[in-house]
Structure 1
């Protein structure tokens, strides 16, 4: 039998997953505040880290997919990026290389970086590895620092 406490805990972890997923897309949302709050409430740090990393990585995968699909619309008037802007972004991505995806967790630049990786046709397994690694390291550091101050 499933207890009310188990359902409540599952909903808490699910809310962190969804928050982390949305935070990795272009919607302005932060998963760190919820993560730290849940740590303060005594939820399992390892499970919180895994859930947050999974959700945030999936959000970046959505950006990658959108990047893969968006170029077919680049000749439309409503396309939000001009051809020179797109060319500049592609040159910058090539300049800093694929390993810049380790920094996909950074505010402001992380979301466009993952979208651009899709535009640049970065192979998905490599994309997933680099993005997940960077995000896991970030959440691990946040959890570790938070636990030092709790």
Structure 2
């Protein structure tokens, strides 16, 4: 055994693989699939703190694209007459997606925005802003 090896070092396949895994984890975590992209980000930053900018960029991009995939799929759902549960999202519009990072409700907000046919660009920008803030907080905590 290697008593002086850090456990994370044993798992590190290289700098590019860590960033690729972070992107995939971030994308999947933003869909209805469970995931822990914050833990993957923390691991990447512990192993390679010099990759802060790349890691934040890829995590935010992957998570935003995952949220936008939920938004796009919800646009395909047929409309029904009763939308009382979506009144808050309809009233506030795309800015509510700054909360899209939140567990459970974040996915629902992305789906609601898509189902309500909110414009994609403001949705993507607000979604990305919220997700970047969350990942920046994780990075700040780790580093």
Using the size of structure 2 for normalisation, the TM-score is 0.83
| Unmatched 5+ stretches in structure 1 | 1-6, 75-82
Residue 16 (structure 1) aligned to one of 22, 27, 34 = 22
Aligned counterpart for 2:71 among listed residues 59, 64, 67: 64
Give the number of aligned pairs.
130
Aligned to 2:121: 125
| SS across alignment from 1:71 | coil
Return the match for 2:96 from 100, 104, 110.
100
For 1:127 and 1:95, locate their aligned partners in 2 and report how far apart those are by CA, in whole Å.
14
Q: Which runs of 4+ in 1 moved over 6 A?
A: none
| 1:96 Cα deviation from its structure 2 partner | 4.2
RMSD between superposed Cα atoms in Å = 1.7
Q: Check whether the contact 1:89–1:116 (CA below 8 A) recurs between aligned residues.
A: no
The 1:18–1:60 alpha-carbon spacing in structure 2 relative to 1, beyond 3 Å, is same
1:9-48 → structure 2 map (5 Å cutoff): 9-43=15-49, 44-48=51-55
- Counterpart CA distance in 2 for 1:107 and 1:35 is 17
